[in-house]
Amino acid sequence: MAGNAIEIRGLVKTYAGGRHGPEKRALKGVDLNIPQGAVFGLLGPNGAGKSTLINILAGLVVKTSGQVTIWGFDQDRNPRQSRASIGVMPQELNLDPFFTPREALEVQAGLYGVPRRERCSDAILAMVGLEDKADAYARTLSGGMRRRLLLAKALVHHPHVLVLDEPTAGVDIELRQMLWQNIRRLNRDGMTIILTTHYLEEAEEMCDEIAIINEGEVVARDSTARLLGRLDGKTMIIQPETPAAALPEGAGLEVTRRADGAIVIAYRASETPAEAVLAAVRAAGISIRDVRTEQADLQDVFLDLTRRRAG
Ligand code: ADP
Ligand code: MG
């Protein structure tokens, strides 16, 4: 295969309408390649279609049309192999309350046909820090422990690709760090990771490549570095000593006055050095009491891309 862990072509999902509303086109023809060995981020606002996409990969939701290939196996022609290649940590905490973590892993391994001698439940439990809880009932586990158990379950059949749907939504910092550590270690050992998140800093920190999805369409797909590189925009915010009579002017400067009297100057750092912005301020006869700059981050690309489509 051509180095892709996942290949998606023309993927469409329409949820049938019913008592609860009209039919919903959740995915409108998605094309996406995810390279082997990546930590790939799927970003998008609520309702964008992230979980739908992931649940189709996982075989939990049936696509309407299109083609999905996982680790070289077409999902329709080789359903068993494609399913065996992927492990999914779902967004919801759907655990059987009567199983202990060890039992839950054994059952999961059984479902995936993992031979007994190839099972390593204890090692997986240790990896997610649940070795002490191996024989506790799931209903006695805290939310964070349940989430770690879901991760453990996704790993029992040694998948090539691990998919995590909002793994750190609503978890505390300690658990987030632990999940990130686990994800990094699994990736170092060769696993391809796909995660959805609406925490942009998580995507910045963890992901080599990112697709931004909005209203069922991929609106951007690039390396994290290049997406951030697009962010050349800076903003300088100036508090004048006395109310400014005139606003600064200059090529490439976008100047507005805020209600509190502050002057807000947007500019492109690659085209206009900060010193030139300050010179324009002085040329307008403004003496500066306070100045600070703001830099765009992934949040801005994200808002820009999702807003442009909506408009
Ligand atoms: P995300 O994970 O990005 O928040 P989802 O994939 O969960 O988005 O949802 C995408 C769209 O599909 C939303 O409008 C959602 O309401 C709708 N949707 C999701 N699941 C169902 C379902 N089972 N039946 C009908 N509509 C659904
Ligand atoms: Mg979701």
Domain of residue 248 covers 232-295
Closest atom of ligand 1 to 91 CA is: 2
Q: In the numeric block, which tokens belong to residue 234?
A: 């800076």
Total domains, the chain: 2
Say if 144 falls within a structural domain: yes
Say if 306 falls within a structural domain: no
Q: CA 234: distance to chain centroid?
A: 25
Q: What is the pLDDT of residue 168?
A: 85
- Give the residue, out of 52, 198, 306, with the most ligand 1 atoms within 8 A of its beta carbon, to mutate for a pocket test: 52
Q: Which residue in 187, 141, 188 sits closest to 164, CA to CA?
A: 187
* 117 and 158 together in one domain: yes
Say if 302 falls within a structural domain: no
* 195 and 246 together in one domain: no
Q: What is the pLDDT of residue 234?
A: 85
Distance from the alpha carbon of residue 113 to the mean position of ligand 2, in angstroms: 28
Tell the residue nearest (CA) to atom 21 of ligand 1. 15
Tell the residue nearest (CA) to atom 27 of ligand 1. 15
| Pocket flag, ligand 1, residue 46 (CB < 6 Å) | yes
**Which one of 188, 213, 228 terminates a domain?**
228
| Pocket flag, ligand 1, residue 212 (CB < 6 Å) | no
Q: Coil, helix or strand for 100?
A: coil
The DSSP call for residue 189 is T
Going by their DSSP bridges, the two strands 161-165 and 254-257 should be labelled as unpaired
Q: What is the pLDDT of residues 228-252, one digit of tens each?
A: 776 677 889 999 999 989 999 998 9
Q: Cα Rg for the chain, rounded, in angstroms?
A: 24
Q: In the numeric block, which tokens belong to residue 298?
A: 């992934």
| Pocket flag, ligand 1, residue 49 (CB < 6 Å) | yes
Q: In the numeric block, which tokens belong to residue 25?
A: 């086109």
What global pTM score does this model have?
A: 0.79
- Give the CATH number for residue 252: 3.30.70
Structure-token match 């509190």, residue found: 260
Tell the residue nearest (CA) to atom 15 of ligand 1. 47
pLDDT tens, N- to C-terminus, the chain (311 residues) = 449 999 999 999 999 988 878 899 999 999 999 999 999 999 988 899 999 999 999 998 999 999 999 999 999 999 999 999 999 998 887 788 889 999 999 999 999 999 999 999 999 999 999 999 999 988 889 988 999 999 999 999 999 999 999 988 878 888 899 999 999 999 999 999 999 987 777 888 899 999 999 999 999 899 988 887 766 778 899 999 999 899 999 989 999 999 999 999 999 888 898 899 999 999 999 999 999 988 766 666 777 777 655 54
- In sequence order, what E strands does the chain have? 4-15, 24-35, 39-43, 65-70, 73-74, 86-89, 161-165, 192-197, 209-214, 217-223, 233-240, 254-257, 263-268, 288-295
Side chain identity at 52, as an amino acid letter?
T
Q: What is the pLDDT of residue 105?
A: 96
- Give the residue, out of 11, 12, 15, 54, with the most ligand 1 atoms within 8 A of its beta carbon, to mutate for a pocket test: 15
| Pocket flag, ligand 1, residue 47 (CB < 6 Å) | yes
Say if 310 falls within a structural domain: no
| Pocket flag, ligand 1, residue 216 (CB < 6 Å) | no
* 131 and 255 together in one domain: no
Three-class DSSP labels, 85-96: CEEEECCCCCCC
Q: CA 79: distance to chain centroid?
A: 26
* 204 and 273 together in one domain: no
Containing H/E element for 31?
A: strand 24-35
Q: What is the pLDDT of residue 103?
A: 95
Side chain identity at 105, as an amino acid letter?
L
* 112 and 255 together in one domain: no
Q: Which residue in 160, 186, 202, 150 sits closest to 41, CA to CA?
A: 202
